[in-house]
């Protein structure tokens, strides 16, 4: 019988009456993510998802890697199926894991019997298969506590499955079950990590980037598009909304005190992101703000910049230090792109001494010099939208 991929569910198993909806969404997400690797039959049975190739031309390596990055999967393993017969299970284990059995010095067999009609219980299956494997590989010693190789046997409804140790999956919840949010994506390290962390909670993302030519270059924009593409490995296909920001920054530079440039600019970004959310039906905003990391991210500054928002503002990295954020950025594959030395609009017109403890009444007074409605209207009228996908 053929090699397949077995996927183990995470939090989805705790969803009670809603579990079927979560599993259906998860299966749909898996099918969409692996469609470029060939034809696969994807279905759920007994708290696992089966991904079965339907032809010899299927790229099982590619599909396996993609499945491990689908939110909702806690573990993944490649397995060989065989008839539900104790001798068939032994021969399957010997053939499928031969190189691993030869290389290991100690082993054990661990069995899960989901099919309670099978005549042997889990312990009896492990003892039978383990005894035959020990005879076939005399150099192996049994170690039930810390073996070099654990041979896993699963007796399920349709067949028995043999595999080695599983690999961790992405965890979290299936994308699409947590609603939609707009994530502000700059060219830095923090915002891609924030996007990843919110997507892990099942949230479908719309990305917003603020583009300010000639102060920001095409290379800077290309960098952000690349970051968005790297996020699709985890978040799936997304829309990127590119908002023109030059006129707004120049107006702030002309009319507002220098120490408030960044703060008032940030308030415009939040207004515009909320406008995109209204347009797309999103229910929250996501930012990469980390408390105290820069002047615009003090508690007072966050309160003032967030004052313009009616929607919830989600800040998943708010309590993390830079090294923690970098660690995640390396894990998800965005770090090398994030550190490319291209400017973004947050670095344009940066004040020498930014206000760290602003007062809302002062900010509102300064903003009276700006045509907020006109600036917003012209920016939203010229938003460019791109569909970002892994393969396009």
Q: What is the 3-state secondary structure (H, E, C) of the chain?
A: CCEEEEEEECHHHHCHHHHHHHHHHHHHHHHHHHHHHCCEEEEEECCEEEEEECCCCCCHHHHHHHHCCCCCEEEEEEEEEECCCHHHHHHHHHHHCHHHHHHCCEEEEEEEECCCCCCCCHHHHHHHHHHHHHHHCCCCEECCCCCCEEEEEEECCCCEEEECCCEECCCCECCCCCCEEEEECCCCCHHHHHHHHHHCECCEEEEEEEECCCCCCHHHHHHHHHHHHHHHHHHCCEEEEEEECHHHHHHHHHHCCHHHHHHHHHHHHHHHHHHHHHHHCCCCEECCCCCCCCHHHCHHHHHHHHCCCCCCEECCCCCCCHHHHHHHHHHHCCHHHHCCCCCCHHHCCCCCCCCCCCCHHHHHHHHCCCCHHHHHHHHHHCCEEEEECCCC
pLDDT at 345: 58
Q: Residue 1 pLDDT more than 70?
A: no
**What is the average per-residue pLDDT within 350-358?**
81
The pLDDT tens digits for 283-323 are 999 999 999 888 778 999 999 999 999 999 999 999 999 99
At residue 157 the predicted structure's pLDDT band, cuts being 50, 70 and 90, is confident
Q: Residue 270 pLDDT more than 60?
A: yes
CA-wise closest residue to 302 among 315, 283, 311, 321: 315
User: Which fold would CATH assign to domain 180-388?
Assistant: Rossmann fold (3.40.50)
Q: How far is CA 379 from CA 73, 148, 272, 325, in A?
A: 40, 60, 8, 31
Decide which of 384 and 56 is more confident.
Answer: 384
**What is the average per-residue pLDDT within 67-74?**
97
Q: Is-cis flag, bond preceding 116, omega within 30? A: no
**What is the average per-residue pLDDT within 63-78?**
97
β-pairing, 204-211 with 180-184?
A: parallel
pLDDT at 200: 98
pLDDT at 347: 59
What are the residue ranges spanned by the domains of the chain? Answer: 3-168, 180-388
The pLDDT tens digits for 355-375 are 889 999 999 999 999 999 999
**What is the average per-residue pLDDT within 69-75?**
97
Q: Residue 81 pLDDT more than 60?
A: yes
β-pairing, 180-184 with 141-142?
A: unpaired
26-29 — which CB contacts under 8 Å span 24+ positions? 26/70, 26/72, 26/73, 26/174, 29/70, 29/71, 29/72, 29/174, 29/175, 29/176, 29/236
Q: Residue 342 pLDDT more than 90?
A: no
Mean residue pLDDT across the chain? 94
For the chain, give the number of residues: 392
The set of residues, in sequence order, having a beta carbon less than 8 Å from that of 179 and lying 6+ positions away, is 202, 203, 204, 282, 283, 284
The pLDDT tens digits for 231-259 are 999 999 999 999 999 999 999 999 999 99
Q: Residue 346 pLDDT more than 60?
A: no
- Is there a contact between 349 and 240 (Cβ–Cβ < 8 Å)? no
Q: Residue 351 pLDDT more than 80?
A: no
The pLDDT tens digits for 95-131 are 999 999 999 999 999 999 999 999 999 999 999 999 9
Counting residues of the chain whose pLDDT is more than 70, the rounded percentage is 98
Report how far apart the first and last C-alpha atoms of the chain are (Å, whole number). Answer: 35
Counting residues of the chain whose pLDDT is more than 90, the rounded percentage is 86
**What is the average per-residue pLDDT within 20-33?**
95
Q: Residue 53 pLDDT more than 90?
A: yes
CATH code of the domain occupying 3-168: 3.30.2130.30
């Amino acid at each position: 019988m053929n090699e397949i991929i077995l996927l183990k569910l995470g939090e989805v198993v705790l969803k009670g009456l809603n579990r079927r909806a979560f599993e259906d969404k998860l299966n749909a997400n898996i099918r969409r993510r692996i469609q470029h690797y060939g034809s696969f039959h994807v279905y759920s049975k007994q708290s696992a998802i089966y991904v079965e190739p339907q032809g010899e031309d299927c790229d099982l390596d590619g599909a396996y890697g993609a499945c491990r990055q689908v939110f909702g999967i806690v573990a993944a393993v490649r397995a060989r199926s065989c008839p539900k017969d104790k001798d068939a299970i032994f021969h399957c284990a010997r053939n499928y894991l031969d190189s691993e059995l030869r290389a290991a010095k100690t082993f054990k067999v661990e069995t899960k019997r989901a099919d309670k009609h099978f005549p042997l219980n889990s312990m009896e299956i492990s003892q039978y298969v383990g005894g035959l494997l020990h005879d076939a590989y005399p150099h192996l010693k049994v170690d039930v506590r810390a073996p070099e190789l654990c041979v896993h046997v699963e007796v399920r409804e349709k067949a028995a499955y043999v595999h080695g140790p599983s690999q961790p999956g992405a965890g979290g919840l299936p994308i699409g079950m947590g609603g939609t949010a707009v994530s502000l994506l700059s060219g830095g390290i923090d915002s891609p990590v924030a996007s990843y962390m919110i997507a892990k909670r099942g949230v479908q993302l719309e990305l917003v980037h603020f583009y300010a030519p000639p102060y920001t270059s095409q290379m800077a924009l290309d960098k952000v598009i690349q970051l968005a593409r790297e996020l699709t490995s985890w978040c799936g296909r997304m829309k990127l909304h590119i908002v023109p920001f030059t006129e707004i920054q120049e107006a702030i530079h002309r009319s507002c005190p220098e120490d408030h440039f960044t703060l008032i600019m940030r308030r415009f970004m939040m207004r515009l992101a909320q406008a995109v959310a209204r347009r797309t039906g999103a229910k929250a905003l996501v930012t990469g703000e980390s408390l105290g990391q820069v002047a615009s991210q003090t508690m007072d500054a966050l309160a003032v910049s967030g004052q313009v928002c009616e929607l919830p503002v989600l800040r998943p990295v708010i309590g993390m230090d830079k090294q923690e954020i970098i660690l995640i950025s390396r894990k998800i594959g965005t770090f090398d792109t994030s550190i490319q030395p291209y400017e973004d609009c947050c670095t344009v017109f940066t004040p020498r001494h930014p206000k760290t403890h602003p007062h809302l009444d002062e900010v509102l007074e300064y903003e009276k010099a700006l045509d907020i409605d006109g600036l917003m209207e012209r920016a939203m009228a010229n938003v460019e939208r791109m569909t970002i996908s892994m393969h396009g």
